[in-house]
Amino acid sequence: MKTAVIAIGGNAISRKDQRGTVEEQVHNMKICCEMIADLVEDGYQLVLTHGNGPQVGSIVIQNEAAGESVPENPLDVCGAQTQGSLGYLLSRTLINTLEARHMQKKLAAVLMQVVVDREDAAFQNPSKYIGPFFSEEEAERLEEQKGYRMCRDSDRGYRRVVPSPMPVEIVEEEAILTLLKEDFLVITAGGGGIPVIRERNGLEGIEAVIDKDLASGLLAERIHADLLVMLTGVPKVAVNYGKEDMEELGCVSPGICRKYMKEGQFPPGSMGPKVEAACRFAEREGKEAVITSMECMRDALGGRAGTHIRRKKPEA
C-alpha cells in the first residue's frame, strides 16, 4: 500500500467568487472528497493537508471589526482556529462521502504544531500577505498602533505582511505515525501548521505563517511517504507561463526545476513553494512529487497527467 501526502489549497475550499460561508465550503469539499474517495478505493493510504489562507483572512477581518468588543487573538491562535474548523468540516464531509459509497475507513483530524527557527531570516523580512486591504492612512495607523508591517499589494491598497519561516520540526510526528500504523486516514497540517518556537520554558506560539506546501513536504519526508502530491489550479507546471512559448513540464528532475527557479520561472507567491517542496522531497527521500490540479489527480497518480518531479535513475 502506497502512502501519499496530498496538499489541498485553501482556495479549493473557499473560492474567490464566493463569500466563504460554511455551506459554500462544504459544497466545495464534497467535490474534493469524491476524488479523495477514489484514491481510498484505489488502495492508497492518505494524509491530507490543506490551506487556510482565505479562512485566516476572514478571522483577521473579524478581529478588526470586533476589536473594541472582544480580545484579538494572535496569529498562531487564528491558525489553530482554522485548522480545527476546516479539519472538522473536511473530516465530516469525507466520512459522509465514504459512507455513501459503502466504504469503511477510520479518520482522524490532528492539530499540528510546526517548529520554526527564531533566527530564520524570514523574521527580518516579512513577505506573506494576510488579511484585508487598507488605505494608506489606515495602514499607517495600524503600523503605529499595533506594530504591523504594512505593504502595498497591487492597486487595491495595503495589507499586513508577516514572516513565513521554513518548517524544521513537526511536534505531532509520532502521533501521526501511530495513526497511520493503525490504518487511519489523517487530516493535518492545516495552513502549514501552527508556528511555534522552542524556548527554554518549552514551546511558544509566534506571529508567522508557514507555507502549506513546504510543511506538507516536511511531513511527507518525516513519515517516509511514497508520494507527495500538491494540488493547484493548473494540470501541469509550466515555464514561460502565459506566453506564446509556454512549455508544460511532464517528468523532470529536481536539478532542472532548480535551474528554472533561478531563472525566476516560479514566483514565490504561487508555484515557487510547490516546486521547492517537490524538489526537497525528491532529493531527500529519492521518491516522487507530483504537482497537478484536483481534476487531474487520479490520472496523475496513474502517470497519465501532471508534473512529476523525481531524481533520474542511474543508467544501467
Does residue 11 have an active-site annotation?
Answer: yes
Distance separating alpha carbons of residues 268 and 127, to the nearest angstrom:
10
Catalytic site residue from 51, 57, 212, 217: 212
Distance separating alpha carbons of residues 60 and 64, to the nearest angstrom:
6
Does residue 10 have an active-site annotation?
Answer: yes
Catalytic site residue from 128, 217, 236, 306: 128
Does residue 274 have an active-site annotation?
Answer: yes
**Contact status, residue 180 vs residue 3, Cβ threshold 8 Å:** yes
Does residue 106 have an active-site annotation?
Answer: no
Distance separating alpha carbons of residues 84 and 87, to the nearest angstrom:
5
**Contact status, residue 235 vs residue 263, Cβ threshold 8 Å:** no
Catalytic site residue from 28, 87, 190, 274: 274
Does residue 262 have an active-site annotation?
Answer: no
Structure-block grid coordinates of residue 238: 509550466
Distance separating alpha carbons of residues 50 and 70, to the nearest angstrom:
28
Q: Which amino acid is at 48?
A: L
CA torsion sign, 83 to 54 to 96 to 292? Answer: negative
Burial class (CB in 10 A: 0-12, 13-18, 19+), 222: middle
Catalytic site residue from 9, 10, 53, 192: 10
Active site members: 10-11, 128, 212, 274
